[in-house]
Each structure stands twice: as C-alpha cells, then as structure tokens.
Amino acid sequence: MIATGIAKAKANDWTVSPRPVVHLQSLEGSGKKATAQLCRWNPSVDWRRTSDNKNVQNSGQRWQNLKLTLVAGSRGWQVTSAADNGTCARKAP
C-alpha cells in the first residue's frame, strides 16, 4: 500500500509536506511490538506536484483515524500495517 503510493509519486514527481499534522491518541506495547492509534489531518499528507505545489490528490478536509502496528528492528521502528478506522472527532487545525 505505502510502497505502491511512493513509487507512483516518484514516477510523477510528486511530494508531500515534510510536516504532516498528526495527533497521537495512544501508544501501547512492550518489547519489540507496539500499536499506535493516531489522527492524521488528511490535507497535510496529500500528494502535490513538485513543480508548482498544486494538489494532485484531494483526500478531503478530515481527520483520519489510523491504527498502526510497529515492530522494532535493527534500523529502528518500522510500520508493519496501517488500518483506516474512520474519522476522528477533532476540529480542523
């Protein structure tokens, strides 16, 4: 899912903001496994053309509720799965 999006963006010279707007709701785990629940402001991670910074994707003005599964590896924590859990009840930033 993520790798496919990145490959398409690279081929089309797209980018995203280097500062996504995210609110961490919870982080649980022990040892080398963790689960994070977060709210992500979708417009802050929409793809944009590098040449003129115009949106090529419009995912809507909403907070997306995401559940991430992470595993610690030799190069730090890696996301192994990301699930869309609907929206978060937060005001627009």
DSSP state for residue 68 in the 8-state scheme:
E
Residues of the chain with pLDDT under 50: none
In the chain, where are the structural domains located? Answer: 2-87
Q: How far is CA 56 from CA 3, 11, 14, 43, 46, in A?
A: 18, 13, 8, 11, 8
The pLDDT, as a whole number, for residue 3 is 64
Q: What is the pLDDT of residue 45?
A: 84
Q: Which pLDDT value is given to residue 19?
A: 86
Note the pLDDT of residue 67. 96
Give the predicted TM-score (pTM) of the model.
0.74
Give the CATH number of domain 2-87. Answer: 3.10.450
